[in-house]
Amino acid sequence: MASHNLKIHEQCTVAPPSAPQTSLPLVFFDLFWLRFHPVERIFFYSLPVTHSNPSIFFAQVVPKLKNSLSHTLQHFSPLAGNVLWPHGSSNPVVQYNPGDAVSVVLAESEADFDHALDNAPKDASDSRCLVPHLESSDSHASVMALQITLFPNRGFAIGITTHHAVLDGKSSTLFIKAWASLCKTNDDYSESSPSSTPSLTPELEPFFDRTVIKSPSELGFDLAIDLVEMLTKLFPSENSDGRCLKLLPFPPRLEDHVRGTFVLTGADLERIKNRVLSKWDTVDIVEAESNLNSTVSSKPTKLSTFVLTCAYTFVCIAKAWHRVEKEKNKFASGFTMDCRARLEPPIPENYFGNCVWGSMVDAKPSAFLEEEGLVIIAKSTHSKIKEMLDKGVFHGIGNAAPRYAALAKEGVELFGIAGSNRFGVYEFDFGWGKPSKVEIVSVDRAITIGLAENRDEKVGVEIGIVLKRPVMELFATLFRGGLSDE
């Protein structure tokens, strides 16, 4: 799906009909992501020929999408604004001024739609032309950009790029769910009557009040991570001015890389769970040296889809990578936890912003390659989550930065996670049916897996991965083979 197969029809903007100026301070949950790469997703939708003919699509479908987008932005106006750092302010803000708008690219692709929907590994670059660029400079950064791409007589794709310091996965999917809801259910509003902005159901209304987030000192810890210093070490050639807002270069890994989607069904997860629990008491965790005091929990009666998916996938990636490149033998994994329900007091589920906190799994870097690596990593991940639930999400926060620095110095490859199998992305119906495929494109910017629920059944999970071609081939063999062995 090379970019020369893409024809740009129009570059336009969409604004909320009549939103007042809004300014939201970024809180400590947001600041970690201030110069991080954006999150890029694609939603693919199949259309009947009556709607996917180019002349009908651009005359009927696109206006409906743009009009409902405008009315959704009335409820989510910060998404049309920018990240700014006002003079005299200690923190950046997300600011919407009347007249601000979201960039929307309208395009047409000659690429094979079925190929785009196929889970089989394909060139990692294929998806790149379907997500828009997010503008940023030293002084400001856009919050969101969209691209709507028609595959004539087959379907279309919505590519969405969002600034991670403004919203986490739960907030970005809340917005898309709200947009889909208004697009599907409101046929009678028109651009000529902005006062008749349709309402959202209460669970889709964003909650913007930042005062519900306590400061680190109020939460009882010192967030002594010097982000400027850390970024200067990681990106020595970039502007290290503490007030710089330009997104840092996390270039996609495209050359000789392929992108694939793998599925774990409910039966697969049951098989993995049984394998892990059958050896739970006989396989010891030898933990990372800096975390020898971590508590390993007793054998649980069940394990979450998240724990099983991450452990199984990461061990398969590590073993495949090591067999292709022998010197790759040290790995670590981290994850973020949604803190909305875990703060004291809990904050609303529809809180709009970042409310996730990360943690590293306590396992030694060679554990992923051991014969019982699956059991070790599953136990370690489960224990770390239980520790965060029992002792608080910020427990052990003082060790995080030194440990990360030590792993980086050792050359340890860090596995991360994007998305969630709980976001319900396959339910987002704009009026033409549910998505045929959802892809987190930005997993190609790091060693990250993208999670979504299983499109084809109530249980299970989809995993999106970008790997070097020979590593992907071996990974696929290990992934599938491990599900058939008893």
d(CA 435, CA 54) in angstroms, rounded, equals 20
Active-site pick, 164, 257, 322, 382: 164
From residue 103, alpha-carbon distances to 5, 82, 168, 232, 251 in Å are 21, 12, 20, 31, 22
Strands (E), 242-353: 257-264, 331-338
Per the listing, tokens 């209304």 go with: 205
Residue 249: how many CB atoms within 10 A of its CB?
11
Consecutive H or E run containing 13:
strand 6-14
* Burial (CB count <10 Å: 0-12, 13-18, 19+), residue 378: buried
The question of whether 429 is a catalytic residue gets the answer yes
Q: Is residue 475 exposed (0-12), middle (13-18) or buried (19+ Cβ within 10 Å)? A: buried
Does residue 114 have an active-site annotation? Answer: no
Indicate the SS3 state at residue 181. helix
From residue 423, alpha-carbon distances to 144, 285, 349, 417 in Å are 19, 31, 12, 14
Strands of 22-114 (E only): list them: 22-25, 39-46, 82-84, 93-96, 102-109
Distances (CA, A) of 41 to 130, 137, 176, 200, 418: 9, 22, 11, 23, 11
User: Is residue 345 reached through a cis peptide bond, with omega within 30 degrees of 0 on the bond before it?
Assistant: yes
Neighbour tally for 214: CB within 10 Å: 15
| C-alpha span between 360 and 457 (Å, rounded) | 31
Determine the number of helices (DSSP H) and then strands (DSSP E) in the chain.
Answer: 13, 17
List the catalytic residues: 164, 429
